[in-house]
Amino acid sequence: MKKKNRVILGGVLFLLAPAVFASEVGIYSIFERINNIFYATITTMHLNYRENAHEANNAVPGDVVNRGLAYGVALDIRKVFGEIIYANVYAEYATGKIKYEGFEYFTFAPLTYKESHDFINADLKLGAVLLGQEYFQLIPYVGFGYHQWSLGGIQDNKYSHFKAFVGAKINFVVFDDWILSPYANIGTTVGPKVKFKKYSSPGVFVGSFKIDLVKKPIFDTGLEIIYKVAQDIFAKGTISYTHFEYGKAEIKNISIEPHSKTNEIRVGLGIGYSF
């Protein structure tokens, strides 16, 4: 009887082995696919920019705020080399009508209006793929990026900076076809500056100038929700938060750029093809 039971148990394990192996292969296959993929994404970003305008001119009674929604498109390419070296290139363009809440330049009377703003973002990440277990994957990385914000119309300014950062993301399989990927980055702005046009009085143009701003820390975090639609097709939803600041700087006898804080909340929906 014992021999018979052992034979039956052995047969069951033999039959189950391919299924277990296939399950593990499937998990690793999903990781391989989401790490070698091209995404096209539509994005919506809420901007909240605030500067202490009183630092630039004591006559200004309060802060200047720019806030509103910008809509964009993003391309996101991820590739693993040699099963361990992880690379990710991201590029985004967005535009939208942003509300200005501040003061008239010469009279300092309260002023509110909307105008078109453009945004460019780009990141390059290089890291290593580390496997914790069959449903879990850790990818630490270093990164370098670029941000540009062009204010049209009355303000006609352009803020920009490079950035250097370190971070990590986790790929976690919650169901067979669902993956959660939280991430966080911390770093610093590099070479921040603002380009602007100065007027001595309404309609009297003095010239175009550039102020090199003081670099400050930058932080962003987010969550990707990935769903396997087909063998090589994936849908991705994202939500992220970014915070950075510019330190006070000036060109003597020309202009002062006050300390400012920028907060961005971004959501996106994309479709990806694994290659």
Task: Write the DSSP string, 79-124.
Answer: EEETTTEEEEEEEEEEEEEEEEEEE-TTT--EEEEEEEEEEEEEEE
Amino acid 265: pLDDT = 98
pLDDT in tens, 57-111: 666 777 899 999 999 999 999 999 998 999 999 999 999 999 999 887 777 788 8
pLDDT in tens, 6-63: 544 444 443 333 333 334 445 558 899 999 999 999 999 999 999 987 776 666 777 8
pLDDT in tens, 195-226: 987 766 566 666 788 899 999 999 999 999 99
Residue with tokens 């602007």: 196
Amino acid 59: pLDDT = 64
* CA atoms of 9 and 238, how far apart (whole Å): 46
Contact of 192 with 218, CB cutoff 8 Å? no
Amino acid 250: pLDDT = 78
Contact of 120 with 162, CB cutoff 8 Å? no
Q: Count the Cβ atoms, other than its own, within 10 Å of residue 236.
A: 21
Question: Looking at the 3D structure of the chain, how many domains does it have?
Answer: 1
- Give me 198's structure tokens: 């100065």
Asked if residue 5 has pLDDT above 90, the reply is: no
pLDDT in tens, 140-152: 999 999 999 999 7
Asked if residue 130 has pLDDT above 70, the reply is: yes
Main-chain dihedrals φ then ψ at residue 70, nearest 5 degrees: -125, 140
Amino acid 62: pLDDT = 78
Of residues 237 and 136, more confidence is placed in 237
* CA atoms of 251 and 144, how far apart (whole Å): 28
Residue with tokens 């939208």: 96
Amino acid 133: pLDDT = 66
- Domain span at 196: 2-274
Q: Which of 235, 246, 245, 242 is nearest to 272 (CA)?
A: 235
For the chain, where are the alpha helices, taking DSSP H only?
A: 2-34
* CA atoms of 76 and 238, how far apart (whole Å): 12
Domain CATH number, residue 237? 2.40.128.100
Amino acid 175: pLDDT = 86
Q: Any residues with CB less than 8 A from the CB of 213 and at least 6 apart, and which?
A: 161, 192, 193, 194, 246, 247, 249, 257
Specify the pTM: 0.84
In the structure, what pLDDT confidence band is assigned to residue 266 with cuts at 50, 70 and 90? very high
Q: Which of 92, 82, 93, 91 is nearest to 35 (CA)?
A: 82
